[in-house]
Amino acid sequence: MSKKKILFITTGGTIASVRTAQGLRPVLSSGELLAHMPALAQLCQFDTLALCSIDSTDMGPAHWLDMARAIEENYSRYDGFILCHGTDTLAYTAAALSYLVQDAAKPIILTGAQQPISNEITDAKKNLWDSVICALDAGSRGVMVVFGGVVIAGTRAKKNKTISYDAFASVNFPHLAQVQGDRLVRYIETPPPAGPVRFSHALDERVFLLKLTPGMRPGLLAEIFRLYDCVIVESFGAGGLPQSLVEGFARGLGRYEDTHKVLILTTQVTYEGSDAGIYEVGRRVKDRFDFLEAHDMTIEAAVTKSMWLLAQPAGSFAELQRRFYRQVNFDTFYH
């Protein structure tokens, strides 16, 4: 039986970094990176594609589109794709690719490391090995994060530790699987795709994430709504807006049919999601204007899904609402 073909797409990050006088810097080429893992050739055939070599702090929507385009251009030639990525914005990239590449019958895996692969002590080699084990499994499909021995749905990953090797959590959803040596132990079956793979080619970056703080002044809202078409509010607790900000949001939003401005309400609390209908501070917002609610979605998923949706024809608010609440790669269970 011939070995499966995997395309490694490298983008830089800690995994490809070396120490310099200015700190860790991603300089290893894709070939140099995988030269540290000769044992991978026993598992699969692989090629490499270097898209960029940057710290993931500098990663943005243009890079996500480049990654999706690279997968699309090579989709028929490979059995799976592994993207080596810096950890700091890896969860954003994983969520973005979940919307840009839908109904993929092949695995699209993001991984990285907390320590460079050239270090004597590093998590990079295990993460790469585990990613290949996951990619070779017959049940693996769609966008996933493989890190610290666990497999996380692309829309559910969040980096919650800055140093430890188990840096990523699966938020409001179980791990899909765990890698134990050469074996994948699956907990959640990923359903077969509903149709052929679909690629999107545009994102709208006019999405602003506003974290509420006690005493925030409403004067900044007019400028935010001037520059952005979608404002995602990280509210307190189950969700709501301070009375002092309600009128500012109402003016900034206007009528959706006229402005196509969107408000999405979520929570600053990592786990268990939002429900603006519980408290009066949320219900008064529901009585004042239309908005969407992220419920149990991660911030990363809410931001990138909004960018993906805004790049599509506007339509009515009801149509926007329907598309926002349509589940993509386990991103929500509320609708």
Q: 43 near 136, Cβ under 8 Å?
A: yes
Range with the largest mean pLDDT of 26-35, 273-282, 283-292: 26-35
Catalytic site residue from 14, 87, 111, 190: 14
Mean pLDDT, residues 130-146: 98
pLDDT grade for 84, boundaries at 50, 70 and 90 = very high
The CATH number of 207-325 is 3.40.50.40
Domain spans of the chain, in order of start: 5-199, 207-325
Superfamily of domain 5-199: L-asparaginase, N-terminal domain (3.40.50.1170)
Residue that is written with structure tokens 């008064």 in the block: 284
Strand residue runs (E) in 75-223: 80-84, 101-102, 107-111, 142-147, 150-153, 157-159, 168-170, 177-180, 183-186, 198-199, 207-211
Residue 237, sorted as left (phi over 0), alpha (psi -120 to 50) or beta, turns out to be: left
* Residue 279 clears pLDDT 80, i.e. is over it: no
pLDDT per position as a tens digit, 231-267: 999 999 998 899 999 999 999 999 999 999 999 999 9
Q: 231 near 325, Cβ under 8 Å?
A: no
Q: 14 catalytic, yes or no?
A: yes
* 82 φ, ψ (degrees, to nearest 5): -125, 120
Q: 30 near 48, Cβ under 8 Å?
A: yes
Token pair recorded at residue 143: 């966008």
d(CA 218, CA 248): 6
* Residue 21 clears pLDDT 80, i.e. is over it: no
Residue that wins the pLDDT comparison between 288 and 66? 66
- DSSP H or E run through 26: strand 23-26
Mean pLDDT, residues 196-212: 98
In angstroms, the Cα distances linking 140 to 116, 117, 217 are: 27, 25, 48
Whole-number percent of the chain with pLDDT over 70: 99
Residue 263, sorted as left (phi over 0), alpha (psi -120 to 50) or beta, turns out to be: beta
pLDDT computed for residue 286 by the predictor:
79
Question: Residue 206 burial by CB count (10 A; 0-12/13-18/19+): exposed, middle or buried?
Answer: middle
Of 239, 240, 293, 291, nearest to 269 (Cα)? 239
